[in-house]
Structure 1
Amino acid sequence: MARLLILWLVLCGAAQAEDIYQFSNPVDRARFEHFTAELRCPQCQNQSIGDSDSMQAEDLRRDLYEQIQAGRSDKEITDEMVRRYGNYILYRPPLNSSTVVLWVLPAVLLIIGIVVVLVMVRKRKAAEGQRQLTPKEQADIEAMLAEHDRKGATSEKDS
């Protein structure tokens, strides 16, 4: 019984590992894997077409496979996908006038955050250094200094 269970598990695992896209060379397989990781599923918001189980992602994978088999270049494939779905399909859209905010805004916000923190730290240090004593505190300190001077003068006479 245990052998039958092990055999069944091995066969089920092999069935799950079956790849439906067969490539004639490892370069095409690598290109396919690269594209399936880099293209966003239009339906699933934040999943690649390789990770998504949606019908649209399945159609995109099949289309991608056919384009690779037809010998189209990476640029041709990317251009076709962008033409059909816009820059949204790319996880890393190119830097152009419509995407410059996506690329520049994080750096600008980081710089602004650093400047705000530095200004706050400097203001806090300046405020701590300029604190004025109240008249009572000033009188207490003068009394302590006078007491110290008297004790110091007495100690010097004893020595």
Structure 2
Amino acid sequence: MRLLCVFLMFLGLVCQAEPVYEFDNPVDRARFQQFNEELRCPQCQNQNLAGSDSLVSETLREDLYEQILAGRSDKEIIDDMVRRYGDYILYRPPFDASTAVLWLGPFGLLLIGGTVLLLMVRRRARQTAQDPELSAAEQARLQRLLDEHDTQAASREQP
């Protein structure tokens, strides 16, 4: 009997029912799904409402459901969420002074990286162009050293 009670308690934990949100029309259902995909869970690290199992996300989903059923527009719902949770709740925050680094940072880093790469290529090209040619005496000495090396290698190869 005890084993049956423990099993039923465990089964109750495993089979927790997720709330079912039913809508009168497919447009409202699509809006709800879009909000779930585009709004970030305030508690989780970089996870949308649809993928989060936190209590906060569950509460937000219920709130979204109620607001959609109440006939609120998308803008009203977004404004309400931003008012309560800040721009963090949006995966695509608006462009303003506080989010300018988020929007312009990647382009700035790309510009800096391109500039550094261009300067390195130019410096290497300049160094290559400035490398002096060998004088006739240096070329003769180099040829003599190569010839000596070849004769030593050939003498080692002969038994």
Q: What TM-score bracket applies, with the shorter chain setting the length? A: 0.7 to 0.9
CA deviation vs aligned residue, 1:18-41 (integer Å, no higher than 9, x gap): 870001111111111111011100
SS at match of 1:92: coil
Q: Residues of 2 paired with 1:67 and 1:45: CA distance?
A: 25
1:140 maps to what in 2? 138
Q: Does 1:97 align with 2:97?
A: yes
How far has the Cα of 1:76 moved from its partner? Answer: 0.2
Q: Identity over the aligned pairs, expressed in percent?
A: 59
Q: Does 1:86 align with 2:90?
A: no
CA deviation vs aligned residue, 1:105-153 (integer Å, no higher than 9, x gap): 111111111111111011112111211256xx64132679xxxxxxxxx
Structure 2, unpaired ranges of 5+: 1-14, 143-159
2:41 maps to what in 1? 41
Q: Residues of 2 paired with 1:140 and 1:113: CA distance?
A: 41
1:127 maps to what in 2? 127
Q: Where do 1:39-118 residues align within 5 Å?
A: 39-118=39-118
Q: Residues of 2 paired with 1:22 and 1:100: CA distance?
A: 39
Number of positions where the alignment pairs a residue of Structure 1 with one of Structure 2 = 129
Greater than 3 Å deviation, 4+ residue runs: none
TM-score, normalised to structure 2's length?
0.73
Structure 1, unpaired ranges of 5+: 1-14, 145-159
TM-score, normalised to structure 1's length?
0.73
Q: Residues of 1 paired with 2:20 and 2:136: CA distance?
A: 86
Q: Residues of 1 paired with 2:19 and 2:56: CA distance?
A: 19
RMSD: 2.4
